Structure formats: structure tokens, C-alpha cells
Amino acid sequence: MTATGSQNSLPVPQDFPVGIIEGFFGTPWDMRSRMTFIERIPRMGLNFYIYAPKNDPCLRSRWSGDFSAEYTAGLKQLALKVKSAGMKFGIGFSPLGATADSAKSLPVFRRQIKLLAEELRPDYLALLFDDMKISLEHEGVLQNAFIRECLDVLTPYGVRLITCSSFYTTDPILEKVFGKMPECYYSDLLRGLPDSVDFFWTGAKVISTEYTEKDLRLAADILGRKPFIWDNYPVNDGRKASDHLYLKPFSGRNLIPSLASGLAVNPMKQTFLNLFPLASLRKALETDNAELISKAAAENLNFCHDGSFTDFVGTCTELFASTPLGEITTAKRNSLLRLLDEMLPEKEHALHKTDPADGSAADADTGETEKIRNEIAEINEIRDFLNGKYVFDPACLTG
């Protein structure tokens, strides 16, 4: 994309699925932050939210166990929050190891899917076979059986099924990490499945910087349908990516609405800092014009941030994207921490004036309060990043 890019801008249909899939490895967001984040993102033009943290054991490593009443109640509250924000709610389910003994696993799997559908009434269910070791030549056949079982359960509830196969990109890194793809994997996987079943696809790479017409048409040829894009920008859960914050606007996404069936963004581990790249997403789906994308992002950020704070983040954006945390000089790191330490009490004082604990400012500008709360959270996220809280932990990949 050039600095100006194409002057054409094609509005994205309002019903085109554009949303979040919280699908990263590592410590999931805390529920309070997640709930607040969900309140913020409809303004960015997002219309769904799928809960699918890799490290939620109930949905992955211990998927066959009973859900506690407390856990189920929490998911119900989350579903209600998403729907009350005007978005569709989805739940991700990763039956880790299920295909090793499908005769034993399928009845348990069916019970769990039915429970999720009955209790949560989701709009989407994401059945995820990604990032699992592959050792069986007939893995595609086995996964196909689970997809069919899931579809059979979900159809009466009107739930849209999105599957992520074990090979969700042509990037050869998947075979290096998880095992060689069986020769007939895709034909076995797709056999007899209706077009209504969507499949996630990350593009030419696990982390794709753009989605070209060639990439998207190849995915459609492989899957026998338009791909539902799982976008691994701005997620930063990997060994190298954990040392970065990705705050730049989206780009190279303008062909997705015409050549894909939807777009799910996998966010960063830092909850509220995701607002910075997300502010550009809707416009980046309309055009490849960098100037128009940046302008739209600035307008969206103005609703949820003070201009001076947005400017401050802008001065750090390139540094955090291009320089690993361990290579940021001590002087630069300490300088940023001092600035953040100066900002925090100012923001907290401003918050008290607009939203005091005694309720004396009942008529305060709630928009201003929202801005300050966002900024306090983001200041703390940047501080924690600089202090090494989000460094990569290999143990996060074991679940």
C-alpha cells in the first residue's frame, strides 16, 4: 500500500461479520477488563465477540470435564454483556486430544456442545482444531466426524458453526511445529459438509501482514468456500511477539469483505491498548488508502481518548512495533516509565473529579469518564509491558 493508496472506498455491509476472537495463548484477560472492553468496541464498527482463550482449561485442556455452576454463570453474564452491547456472542471449543479415541470422546463432546448451546444460546460456536499435534493419517476423517456431530447439535439452536482446521494456512511452519499434514487431509475434512459451515483461515502466513486476492482465492479453492479470516494482528502471544506492542493501524485488508465470509481479530494480551489498532479496522476493510485509514482511526480514538494521550502513544508506536523489549535502551525505558508515572496521578485526579466515589458528580460527562478510565488502564498496561509483565512463558503453550 502506498502512502495514499487507492482513492476508492467501498463501504462494508453492516451485516458483514467483523469482530474479536479472544484466542491467544497465555493468561486470559480478567473478566472485569473484558466486560469493559466489550462496551468500547461496538463504536469501532465491530459486531461480534468470540470467547476462546487457549488457556481456559474448560474449553481446551480439560474440555471433557463438568462445568461448575460458577463458571457457567460467568459465561452467561459474558454472553449477556456482548448481546446488550449490540453484538453477537460466540464461544470457542477446542477438544484437545479428542480424535485419539473418537469412539470414547464423541458422546462426551456432544454433551458438552449441547450444554454450551443450551446454557449460553450463542450466535457462533467456534470448533477449534488449531495448534494441536497431528500424528494420525486419517486425522481429517476424524475431525470431520466431530464437525458433523457439532453441526447436528447446533442446527436446532440456529448457531453458526465456524471451524478452525489443524492446517489453517499454507505457511509451512505449521508442519514443522505440529506434524506433517496427511496427504488427503482437506478432502477428508471437508467431505459432505454443507456450505453453511465456515472455516477460519489466517492467510498466507500464520501472521499475515496483508490479504491479497491471490491469497484469498487460494484459500477458497482449498476450503471449497470463502474463508472466514482469523487475523493474527495485533496479537502478541508468541515467543518473539510478546516483546512488542502492535498499535499501528490495519492495512492490506480491503479485499476481505468481497472475498471472505467474515473477519475475526485475535487481540493483544494487553486489553485496552487494542483500541488503538481497532480504531482503524473498519476503514481498512473499505480502502487501502493509508491517509483515509489514519484519519478514521484518529476520529474513532477521539471518542475514547484525550488527544494528548493519543499523541503520546503515537510517539511510541514505531518503537514498540520494531524494537524488542529487551533491546529498548535502559535510558529510553526509564524515560517512558517516568512519563507514565507522571501521567497516572493526573489521570486519577481527573477521574475523581468526573466520577467521585461519593457520587457528588452525578451529572458528570460520562464520555469524559470513559476516556480517563481507558487511559488509566492503558498507562498501566504500557508500564507493565516495560516492566516485563508480559514476557513470553513457554508453559503457556502446554494447554
- In 3D space, the residue among 369, 368, 378, 245 whose CA is nearest the CA of residue 309 turns out to be 378
Can you list the residues of the chain whose pLDDT is less than 70?
A: 1-9, 355-366, 395-399
Q: Which three cell numbers stand for residue 183?
A: 496427504
Q: State residue 396's pLDDT score.
A: 56
**Grid cell listed for 71:** 463458571
pLDDT at 357: 56
pTM for the complete prediction? 0.93
pLDDT for the residue 20: 98
pLDDT of residue 356: 60
In the chain, what is the greatest distance between 2 CA atoms, to the nearest angstrom?
A: 68
Q: Are 375 and 368 in contact (CB under 8 A)?
A: no
pLDDT in tens, 370-390: 889 999 999 999 999 999 999
Q: How many DSSP H helices and E strands does the chain contain?
A: 14, 8
CA distance 386 to 366: 30
Please give the pLDDT value at position 299: 94
